[in-house]
Structure 1
Amino acid sequence: MSKPDYVYKLVSSSSPVPLDALELPKKLPVSSLDRDSGFIHLSTSVQLHNTLKWFFAEDNPVYVLRLPYDRLEEEKLIRWEDPKAEVCGPRGGEGMFPHLYNGLKLGRDEVDSVKLLEQVDGQWDKSIENAIKDVWLVY
């Protein structure tokens, strides 16, 4: 696997903090899944579509936070771990997932930008295609 330029965090639009604000807070609230796991679940650009499909099917829109990968790797804050297929069955071809181990801190120091993705006719494809065209979602 080649090193990604970015990793991404998906956040429900029902987040108690407005993520479309010009300035993110120093620390965002974390999801119960992240809190229970003890780390922040992230996705690569390749994994993003299925993460939206399996975990955010009922959410529309969804905020996507983009985190530059190099700094997280340099600080040894990322671990690549197997999803173990416990939540949604086998997820073929997706490999290991990036997890952020930094005391559950995610905010303006880690995130370089935020994009709002919306389902169109119950699908994420169009929004993802547009994010790729805008060179925001980087493969």
Structure 2
Amino acid sequence: MRCRTFFSMSNTSKLTYIYKLIPSSAPPPSPLPSALPISTLDQTSGFIHLSTSTQIPNTLKFFFKDELRVYVLRILYDAVEKDVKWEDPKAEVCGPRGGEGMFPHLYNGLKLGKDEVESVAVWENHGDAGWEEALKKAEGWLVY
């Protein structure tokens, strides 16, 4: 039996933005269309995987460590809040794994585009330093 754990953001600080990371192999078109192409992972999951600003460093470390560049889509949380469920990373176990916490998953028919995305940043991976320099440069833009 599958078990899902949800929680409400009402007990925590109010989010301003959530983020979608896209590898350099699938750059978003400019200008953004109404609906971006959906990754295989998101299609298989049935929802769009997102991260908060505090989750991005580990998301980069574990899922984008070999990427030279990522596109970071900043999404105004208020605009999608009604379609976000807070779940563990796989949306299938009771509770978070190893301190990863609960992630925002967007259940809106797999639509992410110009109506949801407020802005796009391009970050570079700097070899041995990894994503640290990109994260430092993003201070002020990468907002909880």
Query: Is TM > 0.5 for Structure 1 vs Structure 2?
Result: yes
Band of TM-score, shorter chain: 0.7 to 0.9
Is residue 2:118 matched to residue 1:112?
A: yes
Task: Kindly report structure 1 stretches of 4+ aligned residues shifted beyond 4 Å.
Answer: none
The CA RMSD over aligned residues, in Å, is 2.0
Kindly state the Cα deviation for residue 68 of structure 1 after the two structures are TM-superposed.
Answer: 0.2
Partner of 1:121: 127
Structure 2 stretches lacking a partner, 5+ long: 1-11
* TM-score when normalising by structure 2: 0.82
Q: 1:60 to 1:91 in 2, by over 3 A?
A: farther
What SS class does the counterpart of residue 9 from structure 1 fall into? strand
Contact 1:85 1:91 in 2 (8 A): no
**Which residues in structure 2 correspond to 1:1-139 (within 5 Å)?**
1-15=12-26, 17-18=28-29, 21=30, 23-73=31-81, 76-83=82-89, 90-92=97-99, 94-122=100-128, 123-132=130-139, 135-139=140-144
**Aligned mates of 1:51, 1:82 — CA distance in 2:** 13
Count of residue correspondences: 129
Letter in 2 for 1:30: I
Higher CA-based Rg: 2
Percent of aligned positions that are identical: 59
What SS class does the counterpart of residue 56 from structure 2 fall into? helix
Contact 2:27 2:71 in 1 (8 A): no
Any idea what the Cα deviations from partners look like across 1:35-71, whole Å, max 9, x if unmatched?
0000000000000010011111111100000000012
Any idea what the Cα deviations from partners look like across 1:58-101, whole Å, max 9, x if unmatched?
1110000000001211xx11000012599xxx442x42100000
